[in-house]
Structure 1
Amino acid sequence: MIQPSQTDVRRYFCGVYAKARSGAPLDAMETLVSQWIDEHPEYHATLSDLDAALHGMAVADPNQENPFLHLSMHLSISEQSSIDQPPGIRQAVELLAARRDDLHAAHHEVMECLGRMLWESQRAGRPPDGEAYIEQVRQRATKD
């Protein structure tokens, strides 16, 4: 399992943003990242200044959304869906996206479920409960 540092993540996202803006060819993962970046124009200024992004690690505001975490979660959910891991997540995300008629909005709801699963896992000191995670996503897909 790859566990990049915060610095690695920030360099990667800023690098992809710069590469996409310059029109340079992107590999498959960079293309996916670039698509999620395009969905978040409010992050473009942050992504355009690597030095500020790196400095921001030291002065993070807990009341402000972290664009790197947010984009990483979009990427995680995309990857989970593409390989259907945990089993059933692809269908649950697709159902929620169809219900909302918006994949981006569905991802934001799935992020809440993913964050809850990780928080509960860390708090209890046990492995993440993929079944509970999927069930939370399914519940969102069946309610208004």
Structure 2
Amino acid sequence: MFNPSRDEARMFLIDTWRKRRAGALLSPLEDLTAQLIEKHPEYYSILENPERYQDKDYTPEHGTTNPFLHLMMHLTIEEQISIDQPHGIRMHFQRLVAHHESEHSAQHRMMECLGEMIWQAQRNGTAPDGNVYLNCLEKQ
């Protein structure tokens, strides 16, 4: 199971982008990650300047999106869809793609619900509840 620390996840993104730009051979996971990064040109300079951004904290109070978290949430959703876990997630994704006419836009809607599930688990000191996630997706 891929369960990196914050620093490991950030280095994975930075290294993957460096390898993509250099034309190096990528693993399947790195290739998927590079494809997701390519859909976010607003993050290129962050990934290309790790000495400046690798240790930066992104808090809601600053009103900026955490680019590392955003990309890792895309990866999480990609995996969830590929294995249909939680069960039914693939159906919700397909419905959202049809409604929003873009897989990328559908994933952004899903991120809102994934974030809600994570926030509730942290607030309550419990494990993430897939039902919270799925119920939120039903409202999207």
- For the criterion TM > 0.5, the same-fold answer is yes
- Structure 2 residue aligned with 1:89: 89
1:103 pairs with 2:103 = yes
Unaligned runs of 5+ in 1: none
Aligned partners of 1:19 and 1:25 also within 8 Å = yes
Q: Which has the higher contact order (CA 8 A, sep 6+)?
A: 1
Contact map agreement 1:37 1:43 (CA 8 A) in 2:
yes
Number of equivalenced pairs: 138
Asked whether 1:114 is paired with 2:114, we answer yes
Contact 1:73 1:111 in 2 (8 A): yes
TM-score (norm 2): 0.91
Structure 2 unaligned spans of 5+:
none
Is residue 22 of structure 1 aligned with residue 22 of structure 2?
yes
The correspondence of residues 41-120 of structure 1 with structure 2, limited to 5 A, is: 41-57=41-57, 60-62=58-60, 63=62, 64-120=64-120
Considering only aligned residues, what root-mean-square deviation do their CA atoms show, in Å? Answer: 1.4
The aligned residue for residue 31 of structure 1 is 31
CA-to-aligned-CA distance 1:35-60 (integer Å, 9 cap, x gap)? 11001000000001121222424xx4
Structure 1 segments, 4+ long, off by >4 Å, are: none
